[in-house]
Amino acid sequence: LRATGETERALDLVDSLREAVDRGGVERLRRQRLNLESALRFERGEVVAARRLWERALELATEDDDHDLAAKASNNLGVLHTLQGRPEDAIAA
């Protein structure tokens, strides 16, 4: 749905899955949901919410040695910081 520009519909689906994914106990799915929700919120211009969710996804991925998702969340945070004119924060992310 993101690829077709249906950000609102995609976010509605992610929101509807939140409780089931978070309650389901599969931490990788939870981290992936956080990363996807962050991207959707960023696309909607919700920069503060996106940053907060990416930071949480990065924190959880780091704790669980999920290097792939940690790299994705860190990259996304870096892009966000760069677009905000904060290259030092982008490098740190």
Give the per-residue SS3 of 47-91: HHHHHHHHHHHHHHHHHCCCHHHHHHHHHHHHHHHHHCCCHHHHH
- Coil, strand, or helix at residue 29? helix
Task: Work out the mean pLDDT of the chain and round it to a whole number.
Answer: 87
pLDDT at 27 over 90: no
Domain residue ranges in the chain: 7-92
Tell how far CA 29 is from the center of its chain.
12
Please report the pLDDT score of residue 2 as a whole number: 61
Question: For position 54, what pLDDT does the model report?
Answer: 95
The answer to whether residues 31 and 23 touch, using CB atoms and an 8 Å cutoff, is: no
pLDDT tens digit sequence for 37-93 = 999 999 999 999 999 999 999 999 999 999 999 999 999 999 999 998 888 887 876
Domain 7-92 sits in CATH at 1.25.40
